[in-house]
Structure 1
């Protein structure tokens, strides 16, 4: 058989993941003992707790522990077969199966905090061998001082696990404040052995650090995943002709506008659509001034339909407007389609000295009843409310879902740059980015934004922080649990029904049923198609 280069690549791409799978799960992964350090904390790190003194004042043998720390170890059967005592790498005569070494620390005490099966208790009784600790100092000229925890050769059924809490302290004479090295786990090999036994034992049993996975190591998953992607990509190139555009690609120019909060996700989706449909001559221009707000965007859409004299029953095929929520008012010629729901957040200049507000405090602020942050336990700085213009979907979501329908106070200045830093004041801006920049640069400033844009700005500007509402952070989970009120459904508006085969219809399909779905998820949105009632598109 005469195989070409592409055929050989496909064969190799199939063979390597298959061999990797067999190696990981049938050879070295069959007997895998996983370990995890779930906590390694200093008592000094708990200074904010009102009960931290209890931890810092712990004693052993009449002396107060020096720089005490607490480590929670988790040992688990992360393989595909039960682990027996003969599987451990230590010698048959040694009852200890695993040693955990803490350099520069000595063990003050330990306790088993969790056993997944009652029968595991037999390995941790006072009479059981192989479980305990020792502190080693200056052995055979080695100036390294260490505490060693010994764990027994426990028989672990599938998915069995146990946890051990270790209390440690710094050796006397060492400098307080120096960071401790990470614990070292060893399945020590003891006693004389034949030369090939270590190799046999490696294939038979493996001690591996686990994080979020318990079935396979992270390198194995990465390798298998990359090679699997190569298989898919190679298969596509084998059967598709060159320069073929993806299914449902439609050429032409599409004009998008509307919500500045939803703009980052739409920009990214537009870029990926253009890239995927290069052979279809697609153009979706999205510059800095493309998105000018939900209300303005809808007005532009209606004007375009009137200018082109689109008759009733027809529709524009080259324009889409995105809004935060349904736009108020009569709009008889436009149609809306729920796309996803987004989470919004309050943002505050950290000079205000406030890191959390209740819904009632927020309503008092936007009702003009709080004019200095000292009234809410913050610093002596005037409140400066930075709002979006009326018609903004982000503002509308705040009014509807947090302020009980009441609008924020009118602006006291025409330009936010004119705010007096020593006097209470309000102003308005026209975009999400301008909102974030204004709040970050205004002491005592308070504003609001889509959560993805806010998070990106917070990373770059230390003067800006996201503000939880009643201690609940702005997350999809908090919204879906009913704990966080500030969110809104994102809608796509068209002038009439876009014609079948138009670029507007194709891009909507891409957003809701194709690659655009991944973009929306990446930007923190929940797709309407993924909720219980996609037409209403609200958290369940």
Structure 2
């Protein structure tokens, strides 16, 4: 399996960090000599001190210094191993291990002011070769020579250097800082890292060049990885909907209930956004009703020649209530219960019906809305075809199991304006369009789609026994028109399939929120998820 680009960047970051650690502490950091200038200041800076005269009167061989300065050098073993005399980057026959050049100045004197260990004293006694200073006539400045001191780990010493302006120097401004280096010429042993000297007043030695390069490279990788994440995931500040743990890259076809279609379409889009490899077409054309959805699922399973002990991985069907008929290869599981509402043309003048009045209307005992206190308009009943889950819920929950009378016309457009009649349609959308178009028409729909039409002023949602259609009213047992929604699979889908993953997503928190926002109650929020009923 190939690495993603962002994973490759992360791996490179780890490799570089480990390499830098090994180089710094295992190679370079093993022996490191840290040379610092802790102070480099002219005596004139103390002019306002009551004792400044002592500094102004500094002399050499009876001659007063013109422009005396003081530099405090600190040499420390900053590595993890002892510095030996053979570790200095100078020829073996050179007794000096470090040379410090002070441009434009001459060295007047020096003194060792601090030794971290008494054993270091022997390297600085009078007459020891390699320790002292020179002021070459042709040089750019005075040179302090420091001996090849054997320094245990963390050992250090300090040297105070007294300097004066070099004779004949006409340069103005402050003096340049000192330069640390080994003696010129001869072979160099790459054992001791001589760190560059910081500017006076700085407490820390600057990082070596390899360390700075590594830091810049790591920073560049971090920025690149952040840009990759932003490009792939949009403006990523906090991902409120993280990718599902069982994200599956595949294609899934959904069929069935037009009532549950809005919720399923939104859930499919949400899952596909969180799981970029998932493809779930959400066109309304795939939702043709509960009965046709079952037919599509069985056809897909048969065409795929799924063995009896296996399951179809890329098709699901949803129904309002249990599917009618015998379906031996299909398995069902509840996912939610949906709430339905009666919808009525706005000119009928009725907003509330008792349960008994609803039954009288569908039994043909009420034929004009004026009989119920409404407008003088004939009653036109618009039904879904047999096999519709929304119609099945109406018959089971509201009409006490009694099927409505047969349609009087095959096309709702053929209903006569002055005569009661009945017609049938094939989807929720055509149902709502017919009710909005025909004065006196009464139909039904799931709540979310009905709300869109009622908001446009075309239809009104009729209350039953003064109770508005809602999840809360169904949960309280006060509203009768609802139905359990089932998901059907052809056999048991593989656990790693997109069909199984999408069903788990619907039962998760995001899926439950989407169902409720679309007028349904997810089974996970019911007292008994296995039956998925309000009480």
Larger radius of gyration between Structure 1 and Structure 2: 2
Deviations 1:70-98 (A, max 9, x none): xxxxxxxxxxxxxxxxxxxxxxxxxxxxx
Q: 1:515 aligns with which of 505, 510, 513?
A: 510
Q: Number of residue pairs matched?
A: 300
Q: 1:475 aligns with which of 470, 493, 512?
A: 470
Aligned partners of 1:454 and 1:236: how far apart in 2?
33
* Cα distance, 1:246 vs structure 2: 4.0
In structure 1, the partner of 2:525 is: 530
Aligned partners of 2:425 and 2:239: how far apart in 1?
48
**Cα distance 1:289–1:236, how it changes in 2: closer, same or farther (>3 A)?**
closer
Q: Which runs of 4+ in 1 moved over 2 A?
A: 233-237
Aligned partners of 1:464 and 1:357: how far apart in 2?
15
In structure 1, the partner of 2:500 is: 505
* Cα distance, 1:236 vs structure 2: 6.6
* Cα distance, 1:370 vs structure 2: 1.3
Contact 1:345 1:449 in 2 (8 A): yes
Contact 2:332 2:487 in 1 (8 A): yes
**Cα distance 1:356–1:245, how it changes in 2: closer, same or farther (>3 A)?**
closer
CA RMSD of aligned residues (A): 1.7
* Cα distance, 1:234 vs structure 2: 4.8
* Cα distance, 1:514 vs structure 2: 4.6
In structure 2, the partner of 1:466 is: 461
Deviations 1:177-198 (A, max 9, x none): xxxxxxxxxxxxxxxxxxxxxx
* TM-score, with structure 1 as normaliser: 0.54
Pair 1:308 & 2:304 matched: yes
Q: Secondary structure at the match of 2:287?
A: coil
Deviations 1:59-79 (A, max 9, x none): xxxxxxxxxxxxxxxxxxxxx
Superposed counterparts of 1:249-398, under 5 Å = 249-278=247-276, 280=277, 282-398=278-394
Superposed counterparts of 1:421-440, under 5 Å = 421-440=417-436
Q: Secondary structure at the match of 1:340?
A: strand
Contact 2:512 2:524 in 1 (8 A): no
**Cα distance 1:469–1:246, how it changes in 2: closer, same or farther (>3 A)?**
closer
* Cα distance, 1:419 vs structure 2: 0.9
Aligned partners of 1:431 and 1:458: how far apart in 2?
18
In structure 2, the partner of 1:451 is: 447
**Cα distance 1:400–1:245, how it changes in 2: closer, same or farther (>3 A)?**
closer
Aligned partners of 1:488 and 1:361: how far apart in 2?
21
**Cα distance 1:412–1:275, how it changes in 2: closer, same or farther (>3 A)?**
same
Deviations 1:439-481 (A, max 9, x none): 0111000000001110111112x13100000111101111111
Aligned partners of 2:406 and 2:244: how far apart in 1?
50
**Cα distance 1:308–1:349, how it changes in 2: closer, same or farther (>3 A)?**
same
Instruction: Give the unaligned 5+ runs of structure 1.
Output: 1-232, 238-243
* TM-score, with structure 2 as normaliser: 0.55
Q: 1:404 aligns with which of 397, 400, 404?
A: 400
* Cα distance, 1:522 vs structure 2: 1.2
* Cα distance, 1:524 vs structure 2: 1.9
* Cα distance, 1:422 vs structure 2: 1.0
Contact 1:351 1:463 in 2 (8 A): no
In structure 1, the partner of 2:491 is: 496
Deviations 1:276-318 (A, max 9, x none): 111x2x2111223110000110011111111221121111000
Contact 2:261 2:284 in 1 (8 A): no
Pair 1:442 & 2:460 matched: no
**Cα distance 1:313–1:455, how it changes in 2: closer, same or farther (>3 A)?**
same
Aligned partners of 1:245 and 1:450: how far apart in 2?
30
Q: Secondary structure at the match of 2:294?
A: helix
In structure 2, the partner of 1:418 is: 414
Q: Secondary structure at the match of 1:447?
A: strand
**Cα distance 1:395–1:235, how it changes in 2: closer, same or farther (>3 A)?**
closer
Aligned partners of 1:491 and 1:473: how far apart in 2?
24
Q: Secondary structure at the match of 1:323?
A: strand
Deviations 1:498-540 (A, max 9, x none): 1111110111111112522221121121111111111111112
Q: Secondary structure at the match of 1:382?
A: coil
In structure 1, the partner of 2:204 is: none
Aligned partners of 1:490 and 1:516: how far apart in 2?
14
* Cα distance, 1:328 vs structure 2: 1.9
